[in-house]
Amino acid sequence: MILTNIESVPGKNIVEHYGVVSGSTVRAKHLGRDFMASLKNIVGGELKGYTELLQDSRAQAVERMTEQAKQFGANAVVNIRFATSSVAQGASELYVYGTAVRVE
Amino acid sequence: MDQLIFLIILVGVGYTAGTIAEKRHYKSIEKRENKFLKLSVVTLKDAFDKESPILRTRLVQGSAVISIDYFKRILAGLRNIVGGEVKSYETLVDRARREATLRMKEMAWDADIILNLRIETSAIGNSANRKKTIGSIEAIAYGTAITYKK
């Protein structure tokens, strides 16, 4: 599965469009991590736990999107966009979407 | 009185630890940025060499969550009274974005060019839904990495 965030796959031609595919996941962090983060808030700096958590969830969202694209019979997803929103206190939604296509 | 002392301790710890951490972070960012000077990153979509055969195209991304220290948070709160430039938050978002871009480049270590770079920022954590106190921000950078056939 080829993923790009431009309109085409360089060096290949798009032969068929399958429409929009998307994947999303809502994640909350657990209490221990939250406590560590609030301590880290005093001294500042990178919150490694959060970075990891968001990376994991984003990978899962991408996984769900490619799964959907596979079901359509696509072999590439072009023009991918990422979006993040906080839906509730302490939880955020990661959303990824793109256009499923077949390239040759 | 007790509360005041506690606050002063928090501010003191935040100031010393925060300043040291920020300097160290900037040093490491600059060092790693120099390492990736040859890998060009553009916001264009068709800036690649169309003559040379392409080995691989893939999506690369990197992200970082950076939090502000207690001293700067109070400083920014004071700044709200008189208005103007809030330097302490500028360095916060600057660090987050540069770190995210660097991680993206590290993921694309074998690529020749990264097309259509996008950088997004969002406030996360407990304070995300309270507008007044921005505690930590996440920056994500992503783009399409292209590797030519050698």
For B22-50, the pLDDT digits (tens) are: 899 999 999 999 999 989 999 998 888 88
This prediction has a pTM of 0.88
Across chain A, what does the average pLDDT equal? 88
Closest by Cα among B47, B31, B45, B29 to B139: B29
For residue A10, the number of C-alpha atoms closer than 13 Å in the C-beta half-sphere is 28
Is residue A51 situated within a structural domain? no
Is residue A63 situated within a structural domain? yes
Residue pairs spanning A and B at CB distance below 8 A? 130
Boundaries of domain holding B29: 2-148
ipTM above 0.90, yes or no: no
Q: How confident is the model at residue B59 (pLDDT cuts 50, 70, 90)?
A: very high
Q: How confident is the model at residue A101 (pLDDT cuts 50, 70, 90)?
A: very high
A83 to B120: CB separation less than 8 angstroms, yes or no: yes
Is residue A88 situated within a structural domain? yes
Boundaries of domain holding A79: 2-27+57-103
Is residue A50 situated within a structural domain? no
Please answer whether residues A87 and B147 qualify as being in contact, where contact means their C-beta atoms are separated by less than 8 angstroms. Answer: no
CATH number of the domain that residue B107 is part of = 3.30.110.70
**DSSP state at residue B137:** E
CATH number of the domain that residue A92 is part of = 3.30.110.70
Is residue A82 situated within a structural domain? yes
Of A5, A10, A85, the CB nearest to B54: A10
For A12-61, the pLDDT digits (tens) are: 999 999 999 999 999 877 666 667 777 777 778 888 888 888 899 999 99
